[in-house]
Structures are given as structure tokens and as C-alpha cells.
């Protein structure tokens, strides 16, 4: 059966159906539409002003590859300049292969690449070392918690190194939906209040972060990468199966099967959540050790590293943060109930 003509240019044969609308489009028109939508998100949300130096968090995976590619196409129109920042968490067998992909991309696109490594920034703690340290605690490992917090910090450091004014990451709509589900299931009101929407505006000296792809569904990102023949690294992290996010991910897959617009419905819900003022996180201060943005005396990264150095990796995880030598406020979330297996990709 011959393919129908493209619904947009009416000339070429349609090569795909858009997951969202079922429209039949040819490859070129789809890529053009995708880029137009990202442009619209950035412009309508006023995410990246002219003259911004934008640090793209590049992991070598499909999302950051597509993001970098699209932003590179749109850079002249937006008036921004791009820098690639890659983070080396020190996960053997996974991160090195991903970094090789990032280097290839940087060479192809002729964009400056900076690699920051955990081992350098965090006193020799690589993710493998963290995983070994947390392995013996009986409950499932919480290395994803560490990885996420430390990666945010590493990205910030890398961005400052290259003199960037904004950080962008490639989170797509599916990621946002999963995060919302996960935060509700774990009762993480602080993250619910902070997350959702377009990103953080950058309070207290932290660089503003945004997610231009957050309204694009994962399937469309993959389709775009396919049609533009982008070279990316597609394996899953070695530690991923233990993460709590897996539950949310499975649920999202089922929901999408039951109702195709479920992902965007969840994103809409996330945008419109109304939380009580008492649930909002405390106003930002500065960490007493490293000076970074923190809502308590110690920022989460320093707190986690503190716990690792003391041989008690779970010190800063979960509620209460008992035992840390900080005289923080009684805290919004100090309660009796421990969150279940506190793995998570941390704050957005």
C-alpha cells in the first residue's frame, strides 16, 4: 500500500505518523515541525535571551544529542552561543563509551566540549566507589540519589568554567511525567513545589536552568534523531534497574497505552499543582562549605559527600538528616515515615 502524501508539503511521501496527532508527514517536514515547536517553547517561555552563553548538559544519550542538535540549528535565530558540558561520573563500562560518543558529536558539530569528572570535583568519589560504599546496607542501593545530586553540582561547575549564563538539559515530556508520578508516590512535596513548569529561574546565584524539550514526547525525540541520523549512545546505566523511577516509568508506559495523551495530561497537571505555602521549600541560602545554593546549612551535595566520607552513606538521604553537624531549622519534612527506597533522579 503506497504511503499517503505528506500532510504538510503535499509533495513527498509520508514517512511517519506523528505520535501525538496521527498526522502523516515526510521526514523533512517532521524535523521542521519539531524544531519549530522547540523554538516556540523557548521564545514563548522566554527561556534563553539573546546573547546568552548556553551550556548544554551532554551525556551522549538521545535527549541531549537531539537538544544540542536542535539548539545548534536554532542558535542563529535565537542569538545564543553553545557550549557542551559532559559529566564523567566514573561508571565503568558505561560512561566511557558515552563520553566517546559525546566527543564524536562535538567534533562533528564543531562545538567546544568540556568534561568534568566526579573524581576531580568530589575528592576521588566516583559512582562506582559510591555504589560499593552503599552496597552493603541491606536495602537496595541508593546510588541514583547520589549521582543525580552530584551531577547537578558538576554541571554547574562545568558551566561556570566555560563562562555560561544558562544551563539547558534534555529532559523530555516523559521525564517530566515520570518525575511528577514519582514525587507524589514518595511524598516529596519540596520537589513538587520546585519542579514542574519550565525549570528554575536561578535564585541565589545559581545559573538558571531550563528544559526546552519538556513538551516533546520521547517518541518524537527518537523519531527526530532517526531522521536526522544522529549518532548517540543508547544503553542504559548499569545501576538503573534499581531506581525507584523504574516503577513510574512502567506506569507511564501503561497509561500511555490506555490513553495516548496521558503524558501531556500529566505535564499539564504538574504545571497546575497548587501546594500550600507551608509546603514550599525554604528560601535559598548559601551552603556553609562550598557557597552553593542551599536551603539548609549544608547543600545536598556537601551533605551527601559528608556521609560518604564518614562511612555512613545514608546520612543525608531520607528525612531528618540526623547526625549531620548542621544546626539547620527543624525542617519541613521531619517526620517518622521514611520514604520508600529513596532512589531518585534528584531535583530539577
Partner 1 sequence: MVCVAISPSRPRLLWAGLLKQPDCAHAKALVRAFLWRQCTRPAAGGTAVAISQTTRESGRSVRLASSVGSRAMSETEGAACGQSLGDRAKTVAEMKLILQTVGFHWHIVALEEVFSLPPSVLRCFAQEPSGTKGAYKAAVDSFLQQQHAPAQGKEGLSQPGTQDPQNPSAPPSAAQTEAQPPIAAQTEALSRLFNSVKTLTAKEELLQTLRTHLILHVARTHGYSKVMTGDSCTRLAIKLMTSLALGRGAFLAWDTGFSDERHGDVVVVRPMRDHTLKEIAFYNRLFAVPSVFTPAIDTKAPEKSSIHRLMEAFVLRLQAQFPSTVSTVYRTSEKLVKAPRDGSAGGPPGPRCLLCMCALDIDTADSATAFGVQTLHLSQMQPPTPPAEAPTTPCCSARVGGAQGCCQGAGPCGRQDPRAHVIEQLCYGCRVNMKDVPSLDPLPPYILTEAQLRSQRAWVLQELQEYLIEDSDDEVQTGES
Q: Which residues are annotated as a binding site for ATP?
A: 57-59, 63, 87, 170, 175
Determine the Cα–Cα distance for residues 320 and 303; give it in Å rounded to an integer: 12
Does 184 contact partner 1 by CB under 8 A?
yes
At 72 the three-state DSSP class reads: helix
Rounded Cα gap, residues 333 and 170, in angstroms: 30
Q: Say whether residue 1 binds partner 1 (CB under 8 A).
A: no
For residue 37, the minimal CB distance to partner 1 (Å) is 6
Q: Rounded distance, CA 160 to CA 167, Å?
A: 10
Rounded to whole angstroms, the Cα distance separating 297 from 280 reads: 17
Cα–Cα distance, 304 to 288 (Å, whole number): 14
Q: Nearest approach, Cβ of 345 to partner 1 (angstroms)?
A: 18
Which residues belong to the annotated binding site? 57-59, 63, 87, 170, 175
Q: Give the residue, chosen from 19, 23, 285, 328, that forms a contact with partner 1 under the rule CB under 8 A.
A: 23
Q: Pattern 251-290, binding to partner 1, x per CB under 8 A? A: x--xx-xxx-xx-xxxxxxxxxxxxxxxx-----------
- 173, 243, 305, 324: which one binds partner 1 (CB under 8 A): 173
Is 181 an interacting residue with respect to partner 1 (CB under 8 A)? Answer: yes
C-alpha cell at 42: 523557548
Instruction: Tell me which stretch binds partner 1 (CB under 8 A): 127-135, 150-158, 224-232, 334-342.
Output: 334-342
Q: In what order do the strands lie in the sheet with 53-57?
A: 113-117, 81-88, 53-57, 166-168, 209-210
55/271 Cα distance (integer angstroms): 25
Q: What's phi and psi for 13, nearest 5 deg?
A: -75, 145
Query: Judged by CB under 8 A, how many residues of this single chain contact partner 1?
Result: 56
In the complex, what is the shortest distance from the CB of residue 225 to partner 1, in angstroms, rounded to a whole number?
A: 19
Quick check: 45 binds partner 1 (CB under 8 A)?
yes
DSSP 316: G
Sites of contact with partner 1 (CB under 8 A): 7-8, 10, 20-21, 23, 25, 29, 33, 36-37, 40-41, 44-45, 173, 180-181, 184-187, 189, 192, 198, 215, 247, 251, 254-255, 257-259, 261-262, 264-279, 337-341
Amino acid at each position: 500500500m503506497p504511503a499517503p502524501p505528506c500532510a504538510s508539503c503535499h509533495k513527498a511521501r509520508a514517512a511517519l505518523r506523528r505520535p501525538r496527532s496521527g498526522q502523516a508527514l515526510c521526514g523533512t517536514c517532521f524535523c521542521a515541525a519539531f524544531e519549530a515547536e522547540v523554538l516556540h517553547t523557548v521564545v514563548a517561555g522566554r527561556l534563553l535571551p539573546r546573547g546568552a552563553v548556553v551550556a548544554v548538559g551532554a551525556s551522549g544519550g538521545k535527549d541531549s544529542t537531539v537538544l544540542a542538535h536542535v539548539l545548534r540549528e536554532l542558535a542563529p535565530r535565537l542569538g545564543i552561543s553553545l557550549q557542551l558540558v559532559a559529566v564523567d561520573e566514573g561508571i565503568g563500562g558505561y560512561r566511557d563509551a558515552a563520553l566517546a560518543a559525546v566527543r564524536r558529536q562535538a567534533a562533528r558539530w564543531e562545538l567546544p566540549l568540556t568534561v568534568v569528572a566526579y573524581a576531580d570535583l568530589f575528592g576521588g568519589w566516583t559512582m562506582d566507589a559510591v555504589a560499593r560504599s552503599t552496597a552493603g546496607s541491606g536495602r537496595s542501593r541508593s546510588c541514583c540519589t547520589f549521582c543525580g545530586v552530584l551531577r547537578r553540582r558538576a554541571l554547574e561547575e562545568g558551566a561556570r568554567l566555560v563562562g555560561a549564563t544558562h544551563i539547558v538539559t534534555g529532559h523530555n515530556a516523559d521525564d517530566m511525567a515520570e518525575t511528577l508520578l514519582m514525587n507524589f508516590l514518595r511524598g516529596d512535596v519540596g520537589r513538587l513545589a520546585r519542579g514542574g513548569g519550565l525549570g528554575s529561574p536561578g535564585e541565589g546565584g545559581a545559573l538558571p536552568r531550563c528544559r526546552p524539550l519538556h513538551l516533546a514526547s520521547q517518541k518524537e525525540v527518537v523519531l527526530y534523531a532517526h531522521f536526522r541520523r544522529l549518532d548517540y549512545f543508547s544503553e542504559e546505566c548499569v545501576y538503573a534497574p534499581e531506581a525507584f523511577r523504574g516503577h513510574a516509568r512502567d506506569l507511564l508506559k501503561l497509561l500511555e497505552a490506555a490513553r495516548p495523551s496521558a503524558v501531556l495530561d500529566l505535564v499539564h497537571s504538574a504545571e497546575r499543582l497548587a501546594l500550600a505555602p507551608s509546603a514550599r521549600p525554604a528560601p535559598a541560602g548559601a551552603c556553609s562549605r562550598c557557597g552553593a545554593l542551599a536551603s539548609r546549612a549544608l547543600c545536598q551535595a556537601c551533605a551527601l559527600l559528608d556521609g560518604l566520607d564518614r562511612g555512613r552513606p545514608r546520612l543525608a538521604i531520607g528525612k531528618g538528616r540526623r547526625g549531620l553537624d548542621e544546626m539547620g531549622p527543624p525542617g519541613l519534612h521531619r517526620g517518622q515515615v521514611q520514604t520508600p527506597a529513596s532512589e531518585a533522579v534528584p531535583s530539577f
